[in-house]
Amino acid sequence: MLFRQLVDDDLGCASYLIGDEAAGEAVVVDPAYAIEPCLEEAERNGVRIVRVLETHNHADHLSGHGRLALEHDVPVAIHKLAEAEYPCEPLEDGDELRVGSIPIHVLHTPGHRPEHCCFLVDGHLLTGDSLLIGDAARPDLAIEATEGAEGLFHSLQRLTELPDETEVDPGHTGGSLCGAGLSRDRTSTIGSERRTNHALSISDVQEFVAHSASIAAPRPPTVERVVALNRGPFLAARQPLAELDAVRGQLLDVRPAGDYVAGHSPGAVNVPLDGGSVGTKAGFVLDHDQPVTVHASSREDAERAAARLYAVGLLEVAGYVLDLATPERLEPVGIDELETLLDQDAVDVLDVREKDERDEGYIPGSRHIPYRLVRAYRDELANGRPVITICSSGARAGVAASVLAAEGIRARPVLEGGVGDWQKRGNTLTAFRRCGSG
């Protein structure tokens, strides 16, 4: 049996190519919109993709099932509760499909979404967005969180009844927003997860609901858009970008942060291609109702950026610009200068990490607004004092500073280092105090 895991590191999403090499046939489970790696892997192994299996209507990224159907005439199968608006084969619990001589068993596992299914094939359990490595998926992306959590509890209990040696192959890996405590491991086993996964250690449904429904991870703002695109008519391949003479709509600068701060066009938001989670960050800080012009260092970088935007459902990419006037500048702040400015009470410090990170310790006197929300607080921050943005490494601080600068606020990012580096210089962090015994 051919079994290949294909991971999109930018989104933390996994697709699977499963085939019978003797028969020359394969299926692909949860294909990414960028189907080229999957096609190349199939060709490399001498198999033809004969079917797409979807675990569910994905909420955080576009599926490639439409491209496979339109470009390669591959049929798609998904559970009937998905209410797909495209031609598909409806799946039900207990169905057995075959690729060549290899059986694939369908397990309906609602919770993350009502239509969610897992696929069991030759000792591999493809768990989609139900059981993840080190965590369980979030239940709040399709229905009310407590209802989803109750369904997820019963689905997980069913999966834990499988043999210990069953390999767990998830639809999401570390870096995804679909789970809070994901491991960086890409595979596991039922036995290992039963021993180490906190979500599986909760045996009472009400306790699980209380734990699972209290999701702290940010909800992607593109959820409804992406689900509608994945449920709707097949989506064809993206057309190549055109080079523009002028900016149309909003300007996304994808050059390295160092290039952006040295000179950028007024109003540009910077989400560097050389950083991680480019599509996710862009989805949080861009206006979804305006077309996007990409400012890149090369045509190739512009195309890569457009692919990341498409992957999260932002399809209105007007084109790209290369030679653009860049009169605006930002002055980054080093940790040593930050200490001096704090001693002088000359700046407002904005911690743009997520809440769980800040709870571990933060700079005294700093204000907390995650990078994805800073635009909403522009009026409060426009008080005339410079704003210093800081995160754990500099990446999100740069994005946040660019958003504030686009709103006319004097912002300076800590690009080299973060809160941990400030502590390493002997400064004391304030930790969030949780109530409880002990």
Poorest-pLDDT segment among 61-70, 166-175, 301-310, 365-374? 166-175
Query: Per-residue pLDDT for 438 more than 70?
Result: no
Strands 317-321, 387-390: parallel, antiparallel or unpaired by DSSP?
unpaired
What's the confidence (pLDDT) of residue 137?
A: 86
Query: Per-residue pLDDT for 433 more than 70?
Result: no
- 254-263 exposure pattern, b = at least 16 Cβ within 10 A, e = fewer: bbbbebbbee
Which residues, 6+ apart, have CB-to-CB distance to 432 below 8 Å?
Answer: 358, 359, 360, 362
CATH 3.60.15.10 segments of the chain: 2-213
Instruction: Give, as one character, the DSSP assignment of residue 272.
Output: -
Share of the chain above pLDDT 90, in %: 84
Please determine, looking at this structure, whether the domain spanning 242-321 carries the CATH number 3.90.850.10. no
Query: Per-residue pLDDT for 166 more than 90?
Result: yes
Q: Which residue has the higher pLDDT, 413 or 223?
A: 413
Q: What is the mean pLDDT of the chain?
A: 93
What's the confidence (pLDDT) of residue 181?
A: 56
What's the confidence (pLDDT) of residue 182?
A: 57
Could you give the strand order of the β-sheet that contains 102-108, starting from the edge strand earlier in sequence? 96-99, 102-108, 117-121, 124-128, 167-170, 188-189
pLDDT confidence band for 401 (50 / 70 / 90): very high
- 344-363 exposure pattern, b = at least 16 Cβ within 10 A, e = fewer: eeebbbbbbbbeebbeeebb
| pLDDT 10s digits, 340-381 | 999 999 999 999 999 989 999 999 999 999 999 999 999 999
pLDDT confidence band for 141 (50 / 70 / 90): confident
Query: Per-residue pLDDT for 77 more than 60?
Result: yes
Q: Which residue has the higher pLDDT, 434 or 83?
A: 83
| pLDDT 10s digits, 120-134 | 999 999 999 999 999
Specify the pTM: 0.91
Instruction: Give, as one character, the DSSP assignment of residue 362.
Output: B
Provide DSSP, 358-398.
HHT-B-TT-EE--GGGGGGGHHHH-SSS-EEEE-SSSHHHH
Average pLDDT over residues 294-319: 97
Query: Per-residue pLDDT for 177 more than 90?
Result: no
What are the backbone angles phi and psi of residue 317, rounded to the nearest 5°? -100, 110
Average pLDDT over residues 186-201: 94
Average pLDDT over residues 81-107: 98
d(CA 40, CA 35): 9
CATH 3.40.250.10 segments of the chain: 242-321, 335-424
Query: Per-residue pLDDT for 178 more than 50?
Result: no
Share of the chain above pLDDT 70, in %: 95
Average pLDDT over residues 222-235: 95
Query: Per-residue pLDDT for 185 more than 90?
Result: no
Which residues, 6+ apart, have CB-to-CB distance to 46 below 8 Å?
Answer: 21, 24
Residue 249's closest CA among 286, 277, 279, 223? Answer: 286
Write the CATH number of the domain with boundaries 335-424. 3.40.250.10
Structure-token pair, residue 206? 């009400």
- C-alpha of 416 from chain center: 24
Average pLDDT over residues 282-301: 97
Contact between residue 279 and residue 308 where contact means Cβ atoms under 8 Å apart = yes
What's the confidence (pLDDT) of residue 258?
A: 96
What's the confidence (pLDDT) of residue 317?
A: 98
d(CA 336, CA 387): 16
What are the backbone angles phi and psi of residue 382, rounded to the nearest 5°? -85, 65
Poorest-pLDDT segment among 50-64, 131-145, 295-309? 131-145
d(CA 73, CA 221): 32
Strands (E), 187-240: 188-189
According to CATH, the topology of domain 2-213 is: Metallo-beta-lactamase; Chain A (3.60.15)
pLDDT confidence band for 179 (50 / 70 / 90): very low
Structure-token pair, residue 139? 């239940």
d(CA 302, CA 286): 16
Residue 155 three-state SS: helix
